[in-house]
Amino acid sequence: MSTQREFSATASDLGAMAVAGVGPGQAPESVIHLEKIWKIYQTGDVTLAALRSVSLDIRSGEFVAIMGASGSGKSTLLNILGCLDRPTKGLYTLAGIDVSTYSAAERADVRNQQIGFIFQNFNLLPRTSVWENVEAPMLYAGIRKAERSKRIEDALKTVGIFEKVASLPNQLSGGQQQRVAIARALVNRPSIILADEPTGNLDSHTSEEILAFLQELNQSQGITLVMVTHAIEAAEYASRRIVMKDGEIESDE
């Protein structure tokens, strides 16, 4: 999916999530609540259940790693959590709001207001400065210029890359690009950050730096973090590890 789509929120419905209550039968601190979620892909005559009745609760402030073999449904699950896609069946409440049946436009709003994304290949806009990359999600959110400037500076200083503010993505190393992507994920003050193989394209030293940074963000700011990873070393930074197998949760500890 393109970065454009990722941030294609409309200005309508802003603030809807801010008044979110907590759904019935749900622990108050449960920010993500999945109940019997199915995702069924139909390609021609072939039907494939990528998620089979997945139920899952994630509390505010958790750092969860999602592991499992290739094809086990990790990205499908993350895309549903991130409202990039919706389940075929089942209930998903995010911060107490049932988003399972939201339209594409409604899901775009939720993403823009609630969720920061970090991807394996950084997904920065090419030929666009670091400053503008980090500014993009705030433009969709309708944040005023002075406030945008302040948040860009804060976020880039937080990730330790403010001196590269005028650079283009292709003038940066992989680790530096991922720092910019993290800054971009932070500026709308999301309650959740979702990361799909965030260190998949980084060397081991840079991976450790990025993972330590994500862990620090989780611990100091209480941001809920859900990270898909193949690497056991990466999963060790999380406080909870979920292993997927054939579209189901095999273990959760």
The contact set with ligand ADP (CB under 6 A) reads: 41, 43, 48, 50, 68, 70-76
Using alpha carbons, list the distances in angstroms from residue 17 to 12, 22, 194, 223: 12, 11, 18, 16
Distance of CA 218 to the CA centre of its chain: 13
Binds 105: which of Mg ion, ligand ADP, none (CB < 5-8 Å by kind): none
Closest approach, Cβ 197 to ligand ADP, in A, equals: 9
Closest approach, Cβ 185 to Mg ion, in A, equals: 18
Compare residues 68 and 137 and give the one whose CB is closer to Mg ion. 68
Residues 65-84 that bind Mg ion (CB under 5 A): 74-75
Tokens 């393109």 correspond to 2
Compare residues 84 and 138 and give the one whose CB is closer to ligand ADP. 84
The sign one gets for the Cα dihedral 82, 196, 6, 224 is positive
- Residue 190 contacts residue 116 (beta carbons within 8 Å): yes
Binds 71: which of Mg ion, ligand ADP, none (CB < 5-8 Å by kind): ligand ADP
Closest approach, Cβ 13 to Mg ion, in A, equals: 30
Compare residues 58 and 228 and give the one whose CB is closer to Mg ion. 228
Compare residues 73 and 90 and give the one whose CB is closer to ligand ADP. 73
- E-strand stretches of 96-159: 97-98, 115-119
φ, ψ of residue 228 to 5 degrees: the values are: -85, 135
- Residue 99 contacts residue 110 (beta carbons within 8 Å): yes
Closest approach, Cβ 126 to ligand ADP, in A, equals: 25
Compare residues 71 and 174 and give the one whose CB is closer to ligand ADP. 71
Binds 29: which of Mg ion, ligand ADP, none (CB < 5-8 Å by kind): none
Binds 1: which of ligand ADP, Mg ion, none (CB < 5-8 Å by kind): none
Long-range pairs of 205-209 with CB within 8 A, sequence gap ≥ 24: 206/173, 206/174, 206/175, 206/178, 207/231, 207/233, 207/234, 209/175
Closest approach, Cβ 220 to ligand ADP, in A, equals: 29
> What is the C-alpha to C-alpha distance for residues 47 and 40, in angstroms, rounded to an integer?
7
> What is the C-alpha to C-alpha distance for residues 206 and 219, in angstroms, rounded to an integer?
20
Binds 70: which of ligand ADP, Mg ion, none (CB < 5-8 Å by kind): ligand ADP
Closest approach, Cβ 75 to Mg ion, in A, equals: 3
Compare residues 74 and 111 and give the one whose CB is closer to Mg ion. 74
> What is the C-alpha to C-alpha distance for residues 246 and 62, in angstroms, rounded to an integer?
24
Residues lying near Mg ion in the complex (CB under 5 A):
74-75
